[in-house]
Amino acid sequence: MSAADAPPVVPVDLGRGVRAVLTTTATGNLGSAVGDDPAEVARVRARVVGVMGVPVVYARQVHGADVHVVEPSTPGARPTRHAVPGDDASDPDVVAVADALVTRRTDVALGVVVADCVPVLLADAVGGVVGVAHAGRRGLVDGVVAATVATMVGQGARPERLRAFVGPAACGRCYEVPVELRDEVAAAVPAASSTTSWGTPAVDLPAGVAEVLLASGVQDVVHHGGCTIEDGTWFSHRAATGGRRPPHAPDRRVGRMAGVVHLL
């Protein structure tokens, strides 16, 4: 792929031996379940594959805490697709129904799609393990972040060697929720308790993710700090569907961005 053909992506530093990027609204929509023409989604995903240099696999995310290990196999082979009842067999890039993926493979990259939830990218290059997690409100409470770290440790990573990237998401100034939901999340992850800039209950997903990572023994946690609702660089479900937000937050079309990690 030439430089002119490469889609705009934002590099993420997860250390030597790992390549990671975030896609943007300018990259295009990577979500297969938001009503876009499947051929256009496939075209955008193919351009991201061109950037990464290997196939990119995804999970069908269901706001849970299941972690799927993309197991080693014959070099160059695509991961086995584990279909389950209700799975969308029409998406050939989906390898499991889960909210996190972990692998030791170097011939595929892992992708996580988001639009206000937190894309969590993790790597232990020395241990040869990478992972991604989709951390929304329910997944955070149910333990998807801790489960991802534990699964990576089971694959040979060490928490003190892990570098974690907490990507752009709906921030605590903007992610308004009913007080009961805020309190439910805070009961499980106290750092996630927040208040919007207009004084109503809110959830700070990135702060909650960081708290869980630190409690799981991950010492190297990098925050992007960007808010998907306030910054038009990123897709935002709330900004695209009429959810309450600050007056300066730009309108967005419906779509999904991705965090992608490849162990070199």
CATH number of residue 123's parent domain:
3.60.140.10
Q: What is the distance of C-alpha 123 from the center of its chain?
A: 14
Determine the pLDDT at residue 138: 96
Q: Is residue 3 part of a domain?
A: no
Which are the contacts of 206, defined by CB distance < 8 A and separation ≥ 6?
A: 118, 166, 169, 171, 172, 223, 224, 225
Determine the pLDDT at residue 82: 45
Q: Which residues share a beta bridge with 130?
A: 103, 123
Q: Is residue 1 part of a domain?
A: no
Give 160's DSSP letter.
Answer: G
Q: Is residue 161 part of a domain?
A: yes
Q: Is residue 2 part of a domain?
A: no
> Residue 46 sits in which domain range?
9-263
Q: Is residue 44 part of a domain?
A: yes
Q: Is residue 4 part of a domain?
A: no
Determine the pLDDT at residue 83: 45
What number of other Cβ atoms are within 10 A of residue 13's Cβ? 12
Digitized pLDDT (tens) for each residue of the chain, 264 residues in all = 544 456 789 999 999 999 999 999 999 999 888 777 788 899 999 999 999 999 999 999 999 999 999 997 644 445 554 444 344 456 889 999 999 999 999 999 999 999 999 999 999 999 999 999 999 999 999 999 999 999 999 999 999 999 999 999 999 999 999 999 999 999 999 999 999 999 999 999 999 999 999 999 999 999 998 999 999 999 999 998 887 887 788 888 889 999 999 999
Q: Is the CB of residue 224 less than 8 Å from the CB of residue 152?
A: no
Q: Is residue 213 part of a domain?
A: yes
Dihedrals phi, psi of 116, to nearest 5 degrees = 125, -35
Domains of the chain: total: 1
The reported pTM is: 0.91
Distance CA 226, CA 167 (A): 7
Determine the pLDDT at residue 6: 61
What number of other Cβ atoms are within 10 A of residue 229's Cβ? 26
Determine the pLDDT at residue 1: 53
Determine the pLDDT at residue 85: 39
Q: Is residue 42 part of a domain?
A: yes
Q: Is the CB of residue 66 less than 8 Å from the CB of residue 138?
A: no
Determine the pLDDT at residue 252: 83
Amino acid of residue 50: G
Dihedrals phi, psi of 164, to nearest 5 degrees = -120, 140
Q: Is the CB of residue 251 less than 8 Å from the CB of residue 187?
A: no
Distance CA 254, CA 100 (A): 23
Determine the pLDDT at residue 153: 98
